[in-house]
Amino acid sequence: MPHTAGLYYETHGPKDAPPLILSPGLGGSGEYWRPNLDAFARHFRVILYDHRGTGRSDRHLPDTVSVADFADDILAVMDALAIPSASIVGHAAGGVAGLALAIKAPERLDRMVVVNGWAKPDPHFLRCFEARLNLLRHSGVEAFLRAQPIFLYPANWISAHSDQLDAELPHQLAAFPGVETMEKRIAALASFDASGKLAGLADKVLVLVADDDMLVPSSAGELLAGELGAACLAILPTGGHACNITQAERFNELVLAWLQGRYPVED
């Protein structure tokens, strides 16, 4: 299994295709992107990786971590693969990591899709993070993970996929990165603020939100688009926070159209 600087990564798709890095959200595992991988790997050299502290990457984290550290890890993977620049699709934590990379090294970014992300802390998702941390600290890891779908998926989708979610729970318990790591990662996300630092990136970034996201309200994505300077904004009417899973076909269509310069696409 390939590693660099303590980070696990894997590549998919044609070696001579344009590089595309998929950066996951809070959970940190590249496995999050499995519902989208085949569609993207037909057109791109796709790089999946596990965030530091999670999955198959080094589980040790320093006392304090930041979103800028997340961006440095993306750059480390790019350097290991000798990739001068790449496109990035980032979900929530992975999206703001991409924004931090764009601020630090804009020449390394080709195009980017930020999925259910933000430019600065939002009162609603801070409230959600507080509730999830209280579950983790006072009710334990299993309670935290059993509540997780409430924040990720629309209610009707949860009802229709309850057996699947129950079957995934033992695997999630086994792979859980630990309470301390989760607290550090949430603290990093809660403190990320790129206000006033994103102007000029509009031509490179598509902000994609789900209107029924329970965790990060779509208004946070709208504010992000404004910070970017009238960046393209795609709004899915439903799909929840994990819209790449619940609305995978439409999600893949929109993302590929943006990355390939064909956006917008007709319904």
pLDDT tens, 73-105? 999 999 999 999 999 999 999 999 999 999 999
Residue 262 to residue 91: CA distance in whole angstroms: 21
| Cα–Cα dist 261/177, whole Å | 37
- What is the predicted pLDDT for the residue at 2? 86
Residue closest to 252 by CA, chosen among 239, 5, 230: 239
State the residue for tokens 């299994």.
1
Encoded tokens for 21: 């890095």
Which backbone phi and psi does 2 adopt, to 5 degrees? Answer: -75, 135
Contact 39, 247 (CB under 8 A): no
φ, ψ (nearest 5 deg) of residue 71: -65, -40
- What is residue 264's predicted lDDT score, i.e. its pLDDT? 85
Q: Domain residue spans in the chain? A: 3-259
Tell me the one-letter amino acid at 169: L
The angle, 0 to 180 degrees and rounded to 10, between the axes of the packed helices 93-104 and 179-191 is 50
For residue 18, which amino acid is it? P
State both tokens at 229. 């300077």
Report which secondary-structure segment, H or E, holds 7.
strand 7-12
Tell me what pLDDT residue 265 has: 75
DSSP 114: E
Does domain 3-259 match CATH 3.40.50.1820? Answer: yes
Predicted local distance difference test score (pLDDT) of residue 41:
98
**In angstroms, rounded to a whole number, what is the distance separating the alpha carbons of residues 245 and 248?**
5
Q: What is the pTM of this model?
A: 0.96
pLDDT of residue 266: 67
- Residue numbers in the chain where pLDDT is lower than 70: 1, 230, 266-267
Name residue 210's beta-bridge partners: 236
The enclosing H or E element of 236 equals: strand 232-236
Q: Which residues are CB-contacts of 163 (< 8 A; sequence separation ≥ 6)?
A: none
